[in-house]
Amino acid sequence: MLSWRNCFNGSNKDNYESICSKLNPIVIAVALFVVGTAFVIKGGDVFVDAAGWISEATGISGVVIGATLVSFATTAPEYFVSLIAAIKGHADLSVGNAVGSLSANLGIAFALLAVFTPGTVKDRLFGAKGLIMIVSTALLLLFCLSGAISVIEGAALLLMFAIATFVNIRYAKDDEKTGERKRVAPREALIPAAKFIGGAAAIIFGSNLIVDNAQVIASALGMSEAVIGLTIVAVGTSLPEIVTSVAAIIKKQNAISIGNIIGANIMDATLILATGSFITGGKMMVLRSAYVMDIPLALVLMIAAVLPSAVGKKIYRWQGALMAGIYIAYIVYRISAT
């Protein structure tokens, strides 16, 4: 029987050598994956607490906090994974991670929000920001049709990111005029600030552990870089958004959750691949499957998330169930088709 002692003491070398050489890295990868998950979950919990405090202290709504501070921090794993992949020449992984994160944020995070906490949409700019998300992704699809994202196209995506940022800042200024602030002594801000930074650091650290070790596990299963990026890596790098959204739901900070998902998706569709196009000098190659299947799927999920809620001013339980069903079917197909 195979055991760790057999692997390390060299006994039964002929029988166990090849098995042990494969088992050790996989077992270690699984263990580190679990550790990374623990960091992400706890980091998300602490992070949402701090974000809620910032919202109360500044008088800025939770929607704006979610769409700016929370989204910037939780999108960092996707950004850096895709950035490093682009630098190293792994365009399939870079694009797959960015596009796959769009779908994961909606098919998992938004779907959970809709199924477990349906209700009124409190964000008065939900429709506008949802439209920016859809238009940004539609532009990304258009630019990918040529098989590569050029520098000019990357600049256009950055322009969409700038527009979204302007809308958030303008909204924040409006909220500052009408929102109620609570008086905060400098010492009182130290602990929430430490939680905010520490929570974000834990999320990013844990996400990196998840991604690195998920790749080891996925490679052992013989999956391509594109599929790894769209599935395991995308879900891994989206865990901050997913966990932060779940924590926000539990703590009844739904505004933060909604703003986080939309803000993160706008960044995924614009900032990540735009940076990649600059790094590669306009040679950010895109597989045909990305613009034939993966990006259109993300657009379908976006429309399902935004249109019913913008019209009815509510998030519906059936909406989340539909989105989750579409996403699960897509993932099963992509994995089985490899």
What domains can be seen in the chain, in order of their start residue?
19-336 (1.20.1420.30)
pLDDT score at 160: 92
CA distance 309 to 307: 6
pLDDT score at 246: 76
Residue spans of the chain under pLDDT 50: 1-11, 16, 177-179
pLDDT score at 60: 64
Long-range contacts of 213-222 (CB under 8 A, 24+ apart): 213/28, 213/29, 213/30, 213/32, 213/33, 213/36, 214/29, 214/33, 216/25, 216/26, 216/29, 217/26, 217/29, 217/30, 217/33, 220/22, 220/26, 222/338
Q: What is the pTM of this model?
A: 0.75
CA distance 245 to 265: 13
Angle, helices 126-144/295-312, rounded to nearest 10 degrees = 160
CA distance 227 to 337: 10
Spell out the alpha helix ranges (H) of the chain.
4-9, 13-58, 62-65, 71-74, 76-87, 91-104, 111-116, 126-144, 151-178, 186-220, 225-228, 234-250, 254-267, 273-279, 288-289, 295-312, 317-336
- Rg over alpha carbons for the chain, rounded to the nearest Å, is 21
pLDDT score at 45: 74
pLDDT score at 4: 39
Entry field: residues in the chain: 338
Q: What percent of the chain has pLDDT over 90?
A: 21
Token pair belonging to 290: 């990305």
pLDDT digits (tens, 9 = 90+) for 256-271: 677 778 888 998 899 8
Angle at 211 between CA 83 and CA 220, to 5 degrees: 115
Contact by Cβ (8 Å): 316, 114: yes
Contact by Cβ (8 Å): 240, 72: no
